[in-house]
Each structure stands twice: as structure tokens, then as C-alpha cells.
A and B are shown apart, each in its own frame.
Chain A
Amino acid sequence: MEHTSLLERILRGIALTLVVIFFMFPIVWILMMSFQTNETILRIPPQLVFKPTLANYTALITGKLTTAAGTLDIAFMRNLWNSVFLSVTSVAVALLLGVPAAYAFARHKFRGSEDIAFTLLSFRFAPALLVLLPLTLYFQKLGLANTYIGLIWVYQLICLPLILWIVRGYFEDIPADIEYAYRIAGHSWFATFRKIALPLAGPGIAAAGLLAFIFAWNNFVFALVLASADKQPVTVGALAFITSSGIQYGQISAAIVLSITPTLALALYAQRYLVEGLSLGAVKG
């Protein structure tokens, strides 16, 4: 990097700026739209300077959407709560099941262990629509359709393989000698798992949990089919803004801003975790 010429640096700067603009523009535009009314949004040419309004947010939070055709009830806050509840619970369940399973797959090579691990991964290969139809039928028979439990169960298809495979890699990266040393010092395998393996794989578990949370949060099709209005997350709830009297771009934008906030906040918080290395210099490489 010491010998980069001025031209090179300028070109690099331009390239970086282009990339940032490309990726950030939609988000910035949505943020701007969320503070505008439908009239200003749809004006041609679009205006960069406008009088900001909080009407969209008020409508979402109070649940009363006033349109030209009259007042409409929307359950956005309910949807947001559903999203939070479904994602958090799904990830928690997936962590509870997936982390010990990942440890078992990483440390104990038993007969068929690779096959089982791969089968779990293959759940992610199948297109969601392929499993949805049979699932819907089964769930209706079992009384799980349109329940939180049923949804959380289906969300395991998204979360569990992800957590299992990422965390397994982190467990495998912990030198076995470190765990052996703890066992030889006189601790049980469970103590070793809790005091050595879990803390050392911590960053990996956080990363996997975060990714699983984002996937669960962004899921659309499972909830669309398996949940009715009162159990729907924001992804499905956003459909409500396409009303008979037109598409409410302002409210959609505000809804997007509100719904990306939790994942964004989580990502920013967990970033510190993610960059912290796994091996902290205990083993000479």
C-alpha cells in the first residue's frame, strides 16, 4: 500500500464511492420517502427538498391509516411484534438444539454422523414451496396451522441448518488439545463443553445466531401460507399497504425503516463480536 500513486488512490476512491452509492442509495431513498406524503413521493420529477412529515409513522404506530377512501385499520405494530417474537424464539430454539448438535458433529465422529449433518443441511436446498404444500396439510391435521409453535417449528428449517453448520466449523477450529487439557485437569465433558468450547466458539455462535435471525426475519413465504393476520410478521403484513385506493408508498417506506431497525441494530452490536478472532494466541500455530 505504500507505493500507491495519486492516480491510483483517486481511482480507488471513485470506485469505492460508486459501490457505496449503489448499495446505499435505495436505503437512503426509502428513508427519505418515509418522511413524505404519497403526493410528494409520486411527483415527477422527484424532489430532493421537501417538507418532512411524521404522518406515516404516526399512522403505523396508531394503526389508523387514513386514505382518500376513508380510514383503514392496519396491524403493523402487531406484525412487528410477531416478527420479533417469531425470529427471537426461532433463533433461541435453534441455538438450544443446534449448538450441542454442532458440538457432537464436530467432536464425535460416529457412524453416519456425516450423513445426518448433510441431511440437515439439505433442508436448505429444497425450495420452500416444495415443502409448503405437504406441510400445510399436515399442520392443519395436527392443529399447528396458524399457531406460533407451528411457525417456529417451520422456521427451524431456516435457522437450524445454518447454526449447525456454522457453529460446527467454529467448534472444529478449537484445538482438541485445549479440551483434552481441561478433561485431564479433572473436569467432566459437560464442564469442558460449557467452560471451554462454548466461550471459545462464542463469536461463531453469535455470528450464526445473527445470520439465522436475519434469515428468519426476512422470511416471507412460510408465514404467508401458514399464518393468518394476527400471527403474520412484517414481511407479510406489508402487503396490507397495497390498498384498493392505491399503494401507500410513504407508509411502506416507514414500515421498512421500522422493520430493518432491529436487524441493523443487532448487526451493529454484534459486529464487535464478529471481528474478534477465535484463537487468542494460546496455541502456537
Chain B
Amino acid sequence: MASLELRNVVKRYKSQTVLDNLSLSVADGETLVLFGPSGAGKTVLLRLVAGVIDPDEGKILIGGEDMTDLDAEFRGVGMAFQNFALFPHMTAFDNIATPLQAKRSSQSAMKSGVESVAKLLKIGHVLSHKPRALSNGQKQRTALARALVGAPPVLLLDDPLRNVDAKLRFEMRLELPRLLADRGATVVYVTQDYREAMALGDRIAVMSQGVIKQLGTPEQIYREPANIEIARLFGDPTINLLDVKPSRDAKGIYVGLSNVQVHLTGAYDATVGRDCVIGLRPEALRFVDEGTPAAIPVTVEAETPLNEKIVTLVRTVRGREILVSRPAGTPGQTEGRAHIAVDGKSALLFDHASGDRIGASNVVNLRSGEAA
């Protein structure tokens, strides 16, 4: 198996810089998720690793070896494309067999190799079909099988679940981690779906405009997002973001929410008097009885049950809208006036101007992904 490393990679198209001095290392056997909006450079990064496009600057190392100038066919990676990229004139079997063909495997080895991976992905019954006779889900599995069949040490998956329906996506999200773990390959997985990123990644690299904005475990990204943008991208329902100006009293730093003082725990001394944005995860808010200390009076606007949780939209006396999430089956206010309480420990504070999260204790080191 093999580790993967990118060193100071730059890729430009005409005058536009798509990847800007990007460095990244993925440990042997690790699954790294590249997450970010479209145009962030995720797919370009994957293609650079695969060797189908060349970087303008920088180096790409696989298993410690410099692969920068090596053509795609010599890199020994497997790749699944977002649009499947199946060979339309070949049957599913022949499609899957192409990596084995390139290795000049014997007919019997090819047959058993294809059949075992097809069985794993439950497409054994459609191997004789051409791509046009396959459903989207089957195409996607065929593309995945083709990437897996040669047991490549590095596996690149470019949003493979993008073009399949919701049900299949959900199934695959559960299946894929086990599948990838069994293979033991180093995986780079591109997605725009934060749930996929959370479910599959040992670590997540959040990309935007050609640079990695944050690199960390799913837990770190969720709990300690580097900036407002990342906080907003991760989490459903979306994080509540409210403009605040922290103040200090005898008990510490607090923010005023609807004339209620909510005390924050954390090193926020420097924020006093500055324009900030407080980020409150909907699940960090809860309904409380009137009279509870620091309870914020609100009016319930709407309630949306989402299977395992219930999301309530409430409005503060100042007219700001806030989402509150609670597990289904737990009591909560369904209409009229109510009170909510904020968990001061889980609140996130961002600088209003830059959007960066405030709190030096949580700065995430890009190289190792460990909290420094």
C-alpha cells in the first residue's frame, strides 16, 4: 500500500490559478475526503494525482516515490469518475476488466477478479450488459468496480455518488466505508455532500478557491470550523449565525441575545467590544421553562419533523430567526411563546470582518490535522 503526498502544487489554466501552492499528505490506508463547493479545485487535484493532467509547479509523491513526471498508466491508481466514464462500446465485464487487461492477467484470473468484485458490489447479474442497458446505480457500481478490481494502492473517487438517486446514495454511504476499509487502500474521496464527508472520511480537507481552508477529523471540522463558511457548510439544519458584540462582566465574557446575557466559556478576552458573529448549532439549543436562568424568550414560527429529529423555527423578540433541533420524541414547544437556552460551551464565535473563528486554542494545524 502507499501513502500520498502533494508538495506545493500549483495548477493554472490561462491566467486563473486553480490550485494555489497546495500541500497535502494522506497516510497509508487513510481515507481523506476533499470537501468543498464546485470550482474549488477538488477534481483538478484528483486528476493531478491520477496523472491525466500535469501540475505547473510542485511534486506528487505516491508511496514516497516522485510520480510528477510519470504518465497515468504507470502510477497504479484506481479512479472512479463522477460521470462514471464507462466505455460505451464494451460490456460491464469488459469495462471492469480493463485494469486487469493492462496487467496482462490470464483469462481465468481476469474472470475470477471481475466476478469477485462484481459480487461485492452486487452487479454480478448485469456483467454482460453494455453501459446503456444499465441503470444509473449499476453504472456507478460498475465504475466503482473498475476502480477497485486491480487492487490499486491509491484509490481516487470523484464524487461517485453524485449522479445516483437518494436511496442508493444512502445505501452506498453505509456500504462504502466498510468496502474501503477492507481494501486497505489509501483513498481520496471528493464530495460536495457534508454527510458523505462525515461518514467516509478519516480526515476531511475543506477546499475553497484552490486552497485547503481546513484539514481535520470530521469531529474537528464540525466542532471547530475554521471560519463561518465551513461552519455553514457542515451541519443540517444549518448553524444559526447572529451578529453580536461581546462584553465583559464579573462572571466573564458574555454576549447579549435578546437582552439576555449568555456567558461564553473560552479564551474570548480579545473579542470584547468587537463586531462578532456567534454560531449556534441548532442541536446546541434547547427549549426550557420560563424562569430558567439565561432563557431567551421566543415565538415558535414553524415546526418541521425530519424523521429522527424535529426542527423548529423560532423568532426572538428582536425579530431574528433561529433554528432549534431536538431528537424526535422529546418534548418541545410546538406553538406560541417559548423559551430557549444556549449552551455557552458549544457556541462558536467568529470575527465579523474576516469570518475566521476566534479562539486560539483550537487552531488546526494543516499539515498533520492535529489540534495544535
Binding site for B on A (CB under 8 A): 175, 177-178, 180-189, 196, 199-200, 279-284
Residue B83 at the A interface, CB < 8 A? yes
B36 at the binding interface (Cβ < 8 Å): no
For A281, what are the chain B residues with a Cβ–Cβ distance below 8 Å? 88, 131-132
Q: Are B73 and A188 in contact (CB under 8 A)?
A: yes
Q: A282: which of B51, B71, B88 is its contact (CB, 8 Å)?
A: B88
Cβ contacts A to B, 24 pairs, < 8 Å? A175-B83, A177-B85, A178-B85, A178-B88, A180-B47, A183-B51, A183-B71, A184-B79, A185-B73, A185-B146, A185-B150, A186-B103, A186-B150, A187-B73, A200-B88, A279-B88, A280-B88, A280-B89, A280-B131, A280-B132, A282-B84, A283-B83, A283-B84, A283-B86
Q: In whole angstroms, what is the CA distance A74 to B306 when docked?
A: 89
Asked if B365 CB lies within 8 Å of chain A CBs, one says no
Q: How far is the CA of A283 from the CA of B89 in the complex (A)?
A: 12
Tell me which of A180, A185, A196, A284 contacts B84 (CB under 8 A). A284
Q: Considering the chains assembled together, what is the distance between the CA atoms of A282 and B88 in angstroms? A: 5
CB distance from A89 to the nearest CB of B (A): 29
Contacts A180-B47, A284-B136 known; A186 to B73 CB distance under 8 Å?
A: yes
Residue from A177, A188, A200, A281 whose CB has the most chain B CB atoms within 10 Å = A177
A180 touches B132 (CB 8 A): no
B130 interface contact, C-beta 8 A: yes
Contact assessment for B163 and A284 in the assembled complex, using a CB-CB cutoff below 8 Å? yes
CB pair A184 B84 closer than 8 Å: no
A255 to B89, CA, bound (A): 42
Least Cβ distance of B192 to chain A in Å? 16
Q: B77 interface residue, CB < 8 Å from A?
A: yes
CA distance A189 to B146 in the complex (A): 19
The docked-state distance in angstroms from the alpha carbon of A181 to that of B78 is: 9
The CA-CA distance from A183 to B78 in the complex, in Å, is 10
User: Please, how many angstroms separate the alpha-carbon atoms of A200 and B90 in the complex?
Assistant: 11
Interface string of B67-89 (1 = CB under 8 A from A): 00001110111110101111111
Nearest CB on B from A281, distance (A): 3
| Among all A-B residue pairs, the 7 with the closest Cβ atoms | A186-B102, A281-B132, A280-B88, A282-B88, A177-B85, A183-B72, A282-B131
CB neighbours of A280 from chain B (8 A): 88-89, 130-132
Known A279-B88, A280-B131, A282-B87; contact A184-B77, beta-carbon cutoff 8 A: yes
A177 to B160 CA separation, bound complex (whole angstroms)? 14
Is B8 among interface residues, defined by CB-CB distance under 8 A?
no
Chain A residues whose C-beta falls within 8 Å of the C-beta of B84 in the assembled complex = 282-284
Chain B: minimal CB distance from A199 (Å): 5
Scoring A182, A185, A186, A279 by chain B CB atoms within 10 A of each residue's CB, the highest score goes to A185
Q: List residues of chain A with CB within 8 A of the CB of B86.
A: 178, 181, 282-283
A184 contacts across to B, CB distance below 8 A? 50-52, 72-73, 75, 77-79
Q: How far is the CA of A183 from the CA of B87 in the complex (A)?
A: 12
Interface residue? B218 (CB, 8 A):
no
Contact status of A180 and B131, CB under 8 A, knowing A185-B146, A186-B150: no
Is B89 a contact of A175 with CB atoms below 8 Å? no
Q: Does B98 contact A (CB under 8 A)?
A: yes
Residues of A contacting B216 in the complex (Cβ-Cβ under 8 angstroms) = none
Q: Which residues of A contact B146 (CB under 8 A)?
A: 181, 185
The CA-CA distance from A188 to B73 in the complex, in Å, is: 6
A196 to B94, CA, bound (A): 12
CA distance A185 to B52 in the complex (A): 12
A189 CA / B85 CA spacing, docked (Å)? 17
Q: Which residues in A have their C-beta under 8 angstroms from that of B101?
A: 185, 187
Q: Which residues of B contact A284 (CB under 8 A)?
A: 83-84, 136, 139, 163
Q: Do residues B98 and A182 form an inter-chain contact, with CB atoms below 8 A?
A: yes
B85 touches A181 (CB 8 A): yes
Question: A234–B150 Cα gap in the complex (Å)?
Answer: 58
Task: Please give, as numbers and ranges, the residues of chain A lying within 8 Å of B102 by CB-CB distance.
Answer: 185-187
- Kindly state the separation between the CA atoms of A282 and B83 in the bound complex, as whole angstroms: 8
Check if A177 sits within 8 Å of B83, measured CB to CB: yes
Q: B347-366 CB contact bits vs A (8 Å, 1 = yes)?
A: 00000000000000000000
Contact with A along B138-159 (1 / 0, CB 8 A): 0100000010001000000000
For A189, list chain B residues within 8 Å (CB). Answer: 71
CB distance from B35 to the nearest CB of A (A): 21
Q: Is B99 close to A, CB under 8 A? A: yes
Asked if A181 and B81 sit within 8 Å, CB to CB, the answer is yes
| B99 partner residues in chain A, CB cutoff 8 A | 185-186
Partner of A199 from B89, B98, B130, B150 at Cβ < 8 Å: B89
